[in-house]
Amino acid sequence: MATTYRTCPSSGLQFENNAEKLMRWHAVAGVLWLLVGGITALLVILTRWPAIKLLPADEFYLILTAHGIDMIILWILHFEMAVLFFASSTLLRCRLATPKLAWLGFWLMVIGGIVCNVAIFQGGSSVMFTSYVPMQAAPHFYLGIILVAVGALIGTGIFFATLVVAKKDKTYQGSLPLVTFGAMTAAIIATFTILSGAAILIPTFFWSMGWIKEIDAQLYRMVWWGLGHSSQQINVAAHVSIWYLTAAVVFGAKPLSEKVSRFAFLLYILFLQLASAHHLLSDPGMSSEWKVLNTSYFMYFAVMASMIHGFTVPGAIEAAQRKKGYTNGLFEWLRKAPWGNPAFSGMFISLVGFGFLGGISGVVLGTEQINMLMHNTFYVPGHFHTTVVVGTTLAFMSITYILVPTLFRREMILPKLCQIQPYLYGISMSVLGLVMMGAGTLGVSRRHWDMAFSGAPFQYEWPGAAYLMMGLTGVFGVIAVVGGGLWILLVVGSLLFGKKLNGGKVSDKPTPIPLDTTAASATAHTDKDDHVAVPGTVVLALLLLVTFVLYYFVNWKYLSEVWLLS
Amino acid sequence: MAENDDDDVPFMQKLLDNNFLLLFLGVASPGLLYILWGIIDIMNVPLAK
């Protein structure tokens, strides 16, 4: 099939015509869902803020369902499809396999997303993101998610087919570039995730139609979390790949050791999805062996992989900076980093927030005993707002500052606001996650719309700190919504009103990667003579380790106080 | 010569370069340890009498 290739003059990245259009459409669809998710986020925050309590209970659960589906599934999956096409077709400089099928996948995702949202806003499907049976939603709620999943599975399959095209056409030599390998890790996890979703949501759809009598609640929870949590592991693999990409693009950084980074991705492939079990640590139907092996043992391999990435990405940046002469002391490389470049600042806040907040709280939640301290409390959404939002969404936002000029050929508008946005969003979301976890540690429930349980026959006397934490959740949540809204404004404004940039040369065939360009950096392999000592990163890693150990054992101490044994 | 080069590739690199083997492992590992074992656990829950 005849196609063309456009070489971006500033980055050297080469966009195949079909892949370029699909990336743009997926990115735009993702941003639109983020807008809906952001509006619903504001309503959720203003309801859980005890001093405001904006919505009545039924509307709150409706809005919370929409917020979960639109953010966790639709915004992120659409953006991830764009990432997969970028990591395959663009980085490997080859045609996208079966573009017509890719468009089918895109439209299935769009239609599925709309159908699911219609079901939610009609009011009969306020079952929230988890949609636990025996709560039953309208059939088109499940059908919408199934259509989205099928569309995403098609996109994932096309990613693998494009890898085959690149290998056959010999558009790369040796192993896949690390960023593409990381995206492949995301695609592998996506395959398991979507198959799990199909295995449970198709029968649930039949049940909602009355074709099946019942769905076992325990079986549903177990298989559903193969979808629900693994979908977040796709995000982890995707945003780690973006960290490597940003480090390569902004600094020309090469991974400290590709072998080690690839091995860490292999650990993700084998073990990351098993963390789904930590949602079921209080379920009586699952054995202790299943719980403990899947979380406290196998999951730690994946945690180790995240710690490796958390070390090697800043390590690669430090090595690149030291080669440029920033060698004074432990942290000159970091002080002299381009903190005014939103692609870097967003990526670095994403990395630190994911590691210190999301990573540490994830291990705590994955430990069966101390999980009981905060199981199903407000701590859980606090945790995943630091992983999925600070980690993934902020990484996606930061790479957009690179993609708008290269992919959409538009200059970003209002550059000063672009500089501020990652700090506004990243810091407020990090504090939001912290205070949510604080409220959860004090026992505030995960989803109940009214923590005061107004009108209940038996009242619970909350400590004042719990109300303080929920008030701070409201304040920082609103700031985070403003930060997210600012990003949408900047991106949409740039697409509509940004200065048009030169699209570059168009050719009928892929051309070799130009030297010393973004494209060359993003696909470079580590050489033997690239080794540079990275003492600053070692100190940062030790800081993370000490923080983790202290917090982990503080929770054991806390457990000993609430679990009194005579 | 090409065959000799291929023989020199370490096992781990061969594994990491085999995209579809990784895909199989990435589905089989949680498929067995999480899903299948989980189903066995649930099936072993005694029915209430």
At A497-553, the pLDDT tens digits run 999 999 889 999 888 888 777 788 888 887 766 678 999 999 999 999 999 999 999
Chain-centre distance of CA A226, in angstroms? 16
Output the pLDDT for position B21: 97
Q: What mean pLDDT is predicted for residues A454-459? A: 84
* A273: chain B residues, CB-CB within 8 Å: 26, 29-30, 34
Interface of B with A (CB under 8 A): 12-13, 15-17, 19-20, 22-23, 25-27, 29-31, 33-35, 37-39, 41-42, 44-45
Output the pLDDT for position A297: 77
Looking up tokens 């966009």 gives A15
Rounded Cα–Cα distance for residues A123 and A411 (Å):
42
Angle at A87 between CA A109 and CA A320, to 5 degrees: 140
Which tops the pLDDT comparison, A122 or A257? A122
* Of A278, A283, A270, A274, the residue nearest A220 (C-alpha): A283
A188, A262, A290 member nearest B41 (Cβ): A290
Cross-chain residue pair A230–B30, CB shorter than 8 Å: yes
* B35: chain A residues, CB-CB within 8 Å: 196, 199, 222-223, 226
Cross-chain residue pair B19–A184, CB shorter than 8 Å: yes
pLDDT category of residue A296 using cuts at 50, 70 and 90? confident
Count of pairs with CB atoms under 8 A, one residue in A, one in B: 87
Q: What mean pLDDT is predicted for residues A481-492? A: 97
Lowest mean pLDDT among A180-184, A277-281, A508-512, B22-26: A508-512
For residue A477, pLDDT beyond 80: yes
Prior bond of A134 cis (ω within 30°) = yes
Which residues neighbour A15 within 8 Å (Cβ) at sequence distance 6 or greater?
A: A5, A6, A8, A23, A89, A90, A407
Output the pLDDT for position A542: 95
- Angle between helix axes A230-251 and A76-85 (nearest 10 degrees) is 50
* Of A477, A490, A314, A315, the residue nearest A398 (C-alpha): A490
B27, B34, B42 member nearest A294 (Cβ): B34
Which tops the pLDDT comparison, A298 or A290? A290
* B37: chain A residues, CB-CB within 8 Å: 290
| E-strand stretches of A369-507 | 505-507
* Of A315, A203, A342, the residue nearest A261 (C-alpha): A315
B31, B34, B41 member nearest A285 (Cβ): B41
Task: Name the burial class of residue A130, with classes exposed (0-12), middle (13-18) and buried (19+) by CB atoms within 10 angstroms of its CB.
Answer: middle
Output the pLDDT for position A525: 82
Rounded Cα–Cα distance for residues A491 and A485 (Å):
10
CA distance A232 to chain B (A): 15
> What is each CA distance from A192 to A178, A199, A247, B1, B25, in whole angstroms?
21, 10, 29, 39, 10
Output the pLDDT for position B5: 58
**pLDDT tens, residue by residue, A398-409:** 999 999 999 999
Output the pLDDT for position A557: 92
* B43: chain A residues, CB-CB within 8 Å: none
Which residues neighbour A260 within 8 Å (Cβ) at sequence distance 6 or greater?
A: A308, A312
* A263: chain B residues, CB-CB within 8 Å: 12, 16
A160, A189, A192 member nearest B31 (Cβ): A192
CA distance B4 to chain A (A): 15
DSSP string, A288-323: HHHHHIIIIIHHHHHHHHHHHHHHHHHHHHHHHHHH
CA distance B26 to chain A (A): 5
Q: What mean pLDDT is predicted for residues A152-178? A: 95
* Of A430, A424, A438, A422, the residue nearest A386 (C-alpha): A430
**Chain B contact present for A219, CB below 8 A:** yes
Output the pLDDT for position B6: 63
- Provide the ipTM: 0.92
Output the pLDDT for position A1: 63
A43 close to A463: Cβ distance less than 8 angstroms: no
* Of A485, A483, A482, A501, the residue nearest A493 (C-alpha): A485
Phi, psi at residue A58, to the nearest 5°? Answer: -65, -40
For residue A48, pLDDT beyond 70: yes
Output the pLDDT for position A520: 82
C-alpha torsion angle, residues A76, A200, A386, A429 (rounded to 10): 60
**Chain B contact present for A178, CB below 8 A:** no
Task: Name the burial class of residue A527, with classes exposed (0-12), middle (13-18) and buried (19+) by CB atoms within 10 angstroms of its CB.
Answer: exposed
**Chain B contact present for A188, CB below 8 A:** yes
Rounded Cα–Cα distance for residues A379 and A357 (Å):
12
Output the pLDDT for position B3: 47
For residue A256, pLDDT beyond 80: yes
Q: N- to C-terminal Cα distance for chain A?
A: 76
Residues of chain A with pLDDT > 90, as a percent, come to: 81
* A192: chain B residues, CB-CB within 8 Å: 26-27, 30-31
* Of A305, A269, A103, the residue nearest A186 (C-alpha): A269
> What is each CA distance from A365 to A129, A130, A278, A394, A490, in whole angstroms?
19, 18, 7, 23, 36
pLDDT category of residue A396 using cuts at 50, 70 and 90? very high
* B32: chain A residues, CB-CB within 8 Å: none
CA distance B8 to chain A (A): 13
The A residues from 272 to 331 touching B (CB cutoff 8 Å) are: 273-274, 276-277, 285-287, 290, 293-294, 298
Looking up tokens 């994830």 gives A362
Cross-chain residue pair B45–A270, CB shorter than 8 Å: no
Looking up tokens 């589906």 gives A69
CA distance B13 to chain A (A): 8
For residue A453, pLDDT beyond 90: no
Give A506's strand partners: A6
Output the pLDDT for position A149: 95
CA distance A264 to chain B (A): 11
Output the pLDDT for position A93: 93
Closest Cα in chain B to A176: B17
A287, A295, A299: which to substitute to probe chain B, counting the most B Cβ within 10 Å?
A287
Query: Largest Cα–Cα distance in chain A?
Result: 78
Cross-chain residue pair A191–B35, CB shorter than 8 Å: no
**Chain B contact present for A145, CB below 8 A:** no
For residue B1, pLDDT beyond 50: no
What is the DSSP pairing of strand A14-16 with strand A505-507? Answer: unpaired
CA distance B7 to chain A (A): 14
* A266: chain B residues, CB-CB within 8 Å: 15-16, 22
Phi, psi at residue A8, to the nearest 5°? Answer: -65, 125
Strands in A14-16's sheet, in edge-to-edge order, are A14-16, A5-7, A505-507
A63 close to A55: Cβ distance less than 8 angstroms: yes
* Residue count of chain B: 49
A192, A193, A194, A294: which to substitute to probe chain B, counting the most B Cβ within 10 Å?
A192
In 10 A of CB A4, how many CB atoms? 14
Instruction: For A80-115, give one letter per residue: b (16+ CB within 10 A) or e.
Output: bbbbbbbbbbbbbbbbbbbbeebebbbebbbebbeb
Residues of chain A with pLDDT > 70, as a percent, come to: 99
Output the pLDDT for position A369: 87
- Angle between helix axes A394-407 and A17-48 (nearest 10 degrees) is 150
Single-letter amino acid, residue A47: T
A266, A276, A285 member nearest B34 (Cβ): A276
Which tops the pLDDT comparison, A339 or A503? A339
Mean pLDDT of chain A: 93
For residue A215, pLDDT beyond 80: yes
B13, B22, B38 member nearest A286 (Cβ): B38
Structure tokens at A527: 């050489």
**pLDDT tens, residue by residue, A124-133:** 999 999 999 9
* B38: chain A residues, CB-CB within 8 Å: 222-223, 277, 286, 290
For residue A258, pLDDT beyond 80: yes
